[in-house]
Structure 1
Amino acid sequence: MFIEMKLHRLNKIVPIAFCVFLVFFASCKKNNEEDPTMSTTPEITFKSISPSSVKEYQDQITITISYTDGDGDLGENNPDAKNLFIIDTRNSVTYEFRISQLAPSTDSIAIQGDLPIILNNTAITDGSSSQSVSYGVYVQDLAGNNSNMVFTGTVTITQ
């Protein structure tokens, strides 16, 4: 009788567990090939900028962007390469950075993720005691494709 009850329960649980497994398996997407719905030109979106106020030459500003690239050629291992560009909207000065390689160079795979960017030593450029700043940001892939440009929110710099 005890064994029959356990078998009866098991007969109910196994089909349910199998269905859950099938739903989970069906929702997984293989992401090792170019995604035809994702452009091979990188695309970025602005996520955040923080903090909202910094002390000149002391505090860091963190800009976070999201990226997608249909063929995964965003990023570079050459330390001299520049592929991330931040434009100070106050004076149009462009700061150049390098994004490290994000996907294996032997594969053409669709990639996406978030990228935090840290700016150090932000200065007041107009001689006042405080100044607001925002930035334009874009990236460039190995093929030379420039992404769209996004603009950050505003940060106040104080002395």
Structure 2
Amino acid sequence: MILREMLVDDLEQVMKIETELFSPPWTKEGFFTYLTRKDAMFLVVEEKGEILAYCGLLMVLDEGDITNVAVRPDRQREGIGHFLMDSLIRLAEQQGITTIHLEVRVGNRTAIRLYERMGFTRDGIRKKYYTDPVEDALLMTRQAQKVPQN
């Protein structure tokens, strides 16, 4: 498996995963817009030319907002999501990000467990945040690990 930045050429495969997993899905144009921004980091996990997973982070000062995390349905539960999130967090911290926020459907227990294992804590609920179907969003935050100063 290779971790790398998402490229415009990846969007066909990314959109296939996006439309399979999310309702409503992001548009190809939406992804394209973020790929051109300097304050955005979008990563993919690739194996033999196939995109297995992707995620995105928007950065403002020392904070980041995770826009999406997706693992191809036939490759879930293999540790790819953990690898992707761990990589995203480390790369964000290298760029000075100390706080990362995300929201996730309250019913997505698998993702919530992953985020909690990655050090995210529950902050609150956004009522009826998601549509199709309508569902609350769980807000979560992760603070960078403090390195003791000698």
Structure in which a larger fraction of residues adopt helix: 2
TM-score (norm 1): 0.24
Decide which structure has the larger Cα Rg and report it: 1
TM-score (norm 2): 0.25
Structure in which a larger fraction of residues adopt strand: 2
Identify which of structures 1 and 2 has the higher relative contact order when contacts are C-alpha pairs closer than 8 Å and 6+ apart: 1
